[in-house]
Amino acid sequence: MLPAARTPLAELSPPIALGALDGRYRGAVVPLVDHLSEAALNRARLHVEVEWLIHLVTQDVIPGADHLAEEEQARLRELVTRFDAAAIEELGQIEAETVHDVKAVEYYVRRRLLGIVGEQRAATLGELVHFACTSEDINNTSYALMVRGAVEQVWLPRARALVDQLTGMARDLAEVPLLAHTHGQPATPTTMGKELAVLAWRLTRQLDRVGSTAYLGKFNGATGTFGAHAVAVPGADWQQVSRSFVEGLGLTWNPLTTQIESHDWQAELYGDIARFNRILHNLCTDVWTYISMGYFAQVRGQGTVGSSTMPHKVNPIRFENAEANLEVSNALLDVLASTLVTSRLQRDLTDSSMQRNIGTALGHSLLAVDNASRGLAGLDAVPAAMAADLDTNWEVLAEPIQSVMRALAARGVEGMANPYERLKELTRGRRIGQAELVEFVQGLGLPAEEEARLAALTPASYVGIAPVLVEHLPAGPRTQDSAPVQGS
């Protein structure tokens, strides 16, 4: 039996999103639309075109060219600040005729210039719109401005807030003892705070790298030689004109390029963000494991359904969703970083299509940050569960006992030979309790002070200076979403 005809979803209005970021998850990533959407790209192009025109006339780059009054400059800049749906639609109509996105922006500026300075002056000033530019002069500076805005105004603040939240948790749990696991096996105890601090420290380093990114821009013509510039106006210092313009946009001037800015800075930035993502992925898998071990309880704000069939379950979905989105983000960031640094000879258009995925790459990372933050906010630490595991693994004290024996043997104390082998015989492949361990210690012939110290040692107290190490994290108030200790 053939299925009945269905209503074509693609024909419904308003349009239905194809991707999850513009559909299910739009609320978490919508601030990026202002920076990395197609409309944002055209607005950035408009900004660069307007500023280049103003730069040429205010710096008297073209001898004898008309000037723009301050009011006229302000009206030109309003094309950018008041860029709206009508402007987007008009640009789309122009591009349908030009079949060239940057040329459409140029024509749009020239149209608007007509209404600002009048027909006669627009006939001459209009020739300075896009003067001596190749499309990539406009595009590379536009992308640099867009990516900088997206990173500095949206992604970095959210990522820093997550790390601050994690830092608060690390401080709160700095002294809560935890049985460490190396290779999945019980190992030297630590504290939950110290383990979270390690991840906060690693994430902070990557954010510092991202925060120090240099956003490069070039403005040197069709093959990076200032060819048209030098022929049209040979008396101008075109390198200085270019440099002052690019730096006036708030970017770092790149003096040596082909037709395109080489995108190396983008590859570096995406590599740093991808590394942050991978460390955050590590955080998610570790916290997921702690939840499965009962070290954290997901009890706060649990009005949600955990399992559709098992009422007792609260699934760690925030961390699992974060993992998935981090993996999608990194797939895109990796391909961006690896492909953008290569261009055939002067240029090819692979970068044009590739860069349109920057918003998706950062969007999935931003969504993962949001998920991880929500996940951490729903956790309560359960010291009782951590203590129970510690209390059933007294064999982890074999390490400090044999270390004390080694130190004594090195000082010439009798009877301390082969400490590792003796502890291995006692502990390997078997569980021991406090009584067996104390009996063993008392039979070693240790000096009285050392014997008393080791006999009093417990897995919970054997955490070294873990609480002190947390102090390496930046100082600051406890965050609102830090995980409290259950029962406190």
Q: What is the CATH number of the domain that holds 445?
A: 1.10.40.30
- Helices first, then strands: H and E counts in the chain: 22, 6
> For residue 477, what pLDDT is reported?
45
Instruction: Provide the percentage of residues in the chain whose pLDDT is more than 70.
Output: 94
The β-bridge partners of 184 are none
Residue 372 confidence (pLDDT) above 60: yes
Residue (of 13, 40, 28, 39) closest to 329 by Cα position: 28
What is the secondary structure of 115-182 as a DSSP string? HHH-HHHHHHHGGGTTTT--HHHHHHHHHHHHHHHHIIIIIHHHHHHHHHHHHHHHHHTTT-EEEEEE
Assess contact for 454 and 401: CB atoms under 8 A: yes
**59 in a structural domain:** yes
> For residue 482, what pLDDT is reported?
52
Token pair for residue 319? 């961390």
Cα distance between residue 180 and residue 391, in whole Å: 13
- State the catalytic residue, choosing from 13, 183, 212, 488: 183
Query: What would the mean pLDDT of 389-402 be, rounded to a whole number?
Result: 91
Residue 443 confidence (pLDDT) above 90: no
Residue (of 481, 379, 478, 483) closest to 162 by Cα position: 481
C-alpha to C-alpha distances, 206 to 13, 160, 283, 326, 357, nearest whole angstrom: 42, 10, 14, 15, 22
The answer to whether residues 204 and 79 belong to one domain is no
Assess contact for 171 and 478: CB atoms under 8 A: yes
The answer to whether residues 75 and 187 belong to one domain is no
Residue (of 339, 346, 342) closest to 258 by Cα position: 346
> For residue 476, what pLDDT is reported?
59
The answer to whether residues 127 and 145 belong to one domain is no
Give φ, ψ of 7 to 5 degrees: -70, 125
Any idea what the CATH number is for the domain that residue 97 is in?
1.10.275.10
Assess contact for 285 and 323: CB atoms under 8 A: yes
- Higher model confidence: residue 83 or residue 485? 83
The type of residue at 474 is P
**404 in a structural domain:** yes
**152 in a structural domain:** yes
| Domain containing residue 452 | 394-458
Produce one character per residue of 219-238: b if its CB has 16 or more CB atoms within 10 Å, e if not. Answer: bbbbebebebbeeebeebeb
> For residue 32, what pLDDT is reported?
97
The answer to whether residues 178 and 291 belong to one domain is yes
The DSSP secondary-structure symbol of 10 reads: G
What is the secondary structure of 181-230 as a DSSP string? EETTEEEEEEEHHHHHHHHHHHHHHHHHHHHT---EE----TTSS-HHHH
Poorest-pLDDT segment among 85-89, 177-181, 286-290, 394-398: 394-398
Exposed/middle/buried for residue 62 (C-beta within 10 Å: 0-12, 13-18, 19+):
middle
The angle that helices 38-58 and 70-81 make with each other, rounded to 10 degrees, is 170
The answer to whether residues 204 and 286 belong to one domain is yes
> For residue 336, what pLDDT is reported?
97
Token pair for residue 408? 């004594």
Any idea what the CATH number is for the domain that residue 276 is in?
1.20.200.10
Q: Is 183 a residue of the active site? A: yes
Assess contact for 379 and 481: CB atoms under 8 A: no
The DSSP secondary-structure symbol of 379 reads: E
Cα distance between residue 30 and residue 270, in whole Å: 20
Query: What would the mean pLDDT of 47-57 be, rounded to a whole number?
Result: 98
Residue 303 confidence (pLDDT) above 70: no
The answer to whether residues 49 and 198 belong to one domain is no
Residue 389 confidence (pLDDT) above 90: yes
Residue 478 confidence (pLDDT) above 70: no
Residue 378 confidence (pLDDT) above 50: yes
**19 in a structural domain:** no
52 contacts: CB under 8 Å, gap ≥ 6: 130, 131, 133, 219, 245
Please state, rounded to an integer, the average pLDDT across all residues of the chain.
92
- State the catalytic residue, choosing from 307, 338, 403, 461: 307
Give the ranges where 220-306 is alpha helix by DSSP (H): 227-232, 238-248, 264-292
Residue 305 confidence (pLDDT) above 50: no
Assess contact for 104 and 94: CB atoms under 8 A: yes
The answer to whether residues 413 and 448 belong to one domain is yes
> For residue 479, what pLDDT is reported?
45
Assess contact for 52 and 133: CB atoms under 8 A: yes
C-alpha to C-alpha distances, 32 to 155, 302, 362, nearest whole angstrom: 8, 29, 8
Confidence of residue 311 (pLDDT cuts 50, 70, 90): very low
> For residue 206, what pLDDT is reported?
98
**346 in a structural domain:** yes
**263 in a structural domain:** yes
The answer to whether residues 158 and 207 belong to one domain is yes
**6 in a structural domain:** no
Residue 386 confidence (pLDDT) above 90: yes
Residue (of 463, 458, 461) closest to 197 by Cα position: 463
The answer to whether residues 336 and 357 belong to one domain is yes
The pLDDT tens digits for 217-264 are 999 999 999 999 999 999 999 999 999 999 999 999 999 999 999 999
Cα distance between residue 296 and residue 178, in whole Å: 12
Cα distance between residue 352 and residue 181, in whole Å: 47
pTM, full prediction: 0.92
The DSSP secondary-structure symbol of 410 reads: H
What is the secondary structure of 324-361 as a DSSP string? HHHHHHHHHHHHHHHHTT--STT--THHHHHHTTHHHH
SS3 at position 373: helix
> For residue 301, what pLDDT is reported?
53
128 contacts: CB under 8 Å, gap ≥ 6: 53, 56, 57, 62, 65
The answer to whether residues 94 and 229 belong to one domain is no
Query: How many domains are contained in the chain?
Result: 3
The answer to whether residues 128 and 160 belong to one domain is no
**2 in a structural domain:** no
The answer to whether residues 126 and 262 belong to one domain is no
The angle that helices 156-172 and 192-211 make with each other, rounded to 10 degrees, is 160
The pLDDT tens digits for 268-292 are 999 999 999 999 999 999 999 999 9
Cα distance between residue 167 and residue 96, in whole Å: 52
